[in-house]
């Protein structure tokens, strides 16, 4: 495991293949039940990433309980708690036995999709965010909580990786400048078909 900053822990290959396959199939099922949407930015542009929500609906840039979304399954809540436990063993400052995520955002990346540097500040709770990556590898860019620019650290995230962001890193700027097309394990491509190359699931405690 690698510590990216205080409260930010990267655990490569955290999920085994059956776990990844189960989660990826669930994402494909959620996406087929209701097409993921591209988020419209304040300037009017559209994000290249498509997003679907579980547990609570997120609209830029707030949670909106008027929209019906699939429930956040218990098995995914337990996976998030287990991920936080793993990360806490690396950085004890994360310790949070009461972690109760109530929403997940599933981001689907096409081959050219990117996500610009941003902060996640719509959650009322300062609880950590747990991130799970599947499919194609990407460059994940991790900055500081203070401003959008340098210094930042670029990390390659691969299918099966866990990253937890808590403490002072919870408000860090971060983004995905690049997805590496065709780097997913072959079994991922079998599950995804012609769909997106990379899938990222973030678990959040919003209240
Ligand atoms: C650092 N997703 O959904 S996951 C997002 O790969 C988002 O789809 C990216 O940024 C993705 O908001 C990055 C890693 C991540 C997620 C949430 C964070 C890093 C974070 C919240 C605070 C600090
Ligand atoms: Fe984010």
DSSP β-ladder status, 62-64 and 129-135? unpaired
Residues 6+ away with beta carbon under 8 Å from 101: 55, 72, 77, 80, 127, 130, 203, 204, 205
pLDDT digits (tens, 9 = 90+) for 107-162: 999 988 999 999 999 999 999 999 999 999 999 999 999 999 999 999 999 999 99
The ipTM (two decimal places) reads 0.97
- Domain hosting 63: range is 2-204
Query: Is residue 202 lining ligand 1, measured as CB closer than 6 Å?
Result: yes
Question: Of the ligands numbered here, which is closest to the C-alpha atom of 145?
Answer: 1
Q: Quick one: pLDDT at residue 97? A: 77
Q: Report the alpha-carbon distance of residue 4 to residue 169 in Å, rounded.
A: 9
Question: Of the ligands numbered here, which is closest to the C-alpha atom of 167?
Answer: 1
CA distances to 3, 112, 128, 129, 139 from 120, in Å: 20, 22, 11, 9, 18
Residue 193 CA to ligand 2 center (angstroms) comes to: 26
Q: Report the alpha-carbon distance of residue 80 to residue 132 in Å, rounded.
A: 9
**CATH number of the domain encompassing residue 177:** 2.60.120.590
Radius of gyration (C-alpha) of the chain in whole angstroms: 16
Q: Quick one: pLDDT at residue 74? A: 98
Question: Of the ligands numbered here, which is closest to the C-alpha atom of 123?
Answer: 1
Query: Is residue 81 lining ligand 1, measured as CB closer than 6 Å?
Result: no
User: Is pLDDT at 13 greater than 80 in this prediction?
Assistant: yes
Q: Are 43 and 36 in contact (CB under 8 A)?
A: no
Q: Count of domains in the chain?
A: 1
Query: Is residue 120 lining ligand 1, measured as CB closer than 6 Å?
Result: yes
Q: Quick one: pLDDT at residue 41? A: 83
Residue 74 CA to ligand 2 center (angstroms) comes to: 23
DSSP per position, 16-33? -HHHHHHHHHHHHHHHHH
Confidence of residue 60 (pLDDT cuts 50, 70, 90): confident
Q: For residue 154, with 0-12 CB atoms within 10 Å meaning exposed, 13-18 middle and 19 or more buried, which class applies? A: exposed
pLDDT digits (tens, 9 = 90+) for 94-111: 987 799 999 999 999 998
Q: Report the alpha-carbon distance of residue 64 to residue 58 in Å, rounded.
A: 6
DSSP H/E element including 90? helix 74-90
CA distances to 106, 166, 176, 177 from 44, in Å: 22, 31, 20, 20
CA distances to 10, 14, 139 from 96, in Å: 17, 19, 28
Query: Is residue 127 lining ligand 1, measured as CB closer than 6 Å?
Result: no
Q: Are 153 and 177 in contact (CB under 8 A)?
A: no
Average confidence score pLDDT of the chain: 95
Which of 176, 202, 206 most suits a substitution to test ligand 1, by most atoms within 8 Å of the C-beta? 202
């Amino acid at each position: 495991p690698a510590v990216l900053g205080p409260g930010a822990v990267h655990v490569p290959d955290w999920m085994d293949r059956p776990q990844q396959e189960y989660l990826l199939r669930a994402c494909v099922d959620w996406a087929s039940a209701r097409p993921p949407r591209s988020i419209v930015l304040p300037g009017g542009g559209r994000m290249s990433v498509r997003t679907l929500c579980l547990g609570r609906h997120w609209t830029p840039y707030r949670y909106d309980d008027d929209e019906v979304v699939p429930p956040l399954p218990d098995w995914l809540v337990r996976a998030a708690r287990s991920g936080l436990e793993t990360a806490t063993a690396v950085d004890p400052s994360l310790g949070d036995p009461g972690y109760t995520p109530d929403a997940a955002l599933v981001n689907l990346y096409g081959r050219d999709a990117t996500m610009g540097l941003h902060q996640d500040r719509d959650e009322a709770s300062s609880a950590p965010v747990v991130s799970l990556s599947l499919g194609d590898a990407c460059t994940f860019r991790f900055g500081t909580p203070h401003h959008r620019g340098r210094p930042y650290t670029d990390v390659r995230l691969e299918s099966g990786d866990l990253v937890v962001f808590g403490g002072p890193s919870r408000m860090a700027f971060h983004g995905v400048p690049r997805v590496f097309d065709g780097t997913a394990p072959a079994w991922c491509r079998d599950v995804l078909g012609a769909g997106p190359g990379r899938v990222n699931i973030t678990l959040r405690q919003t209240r």
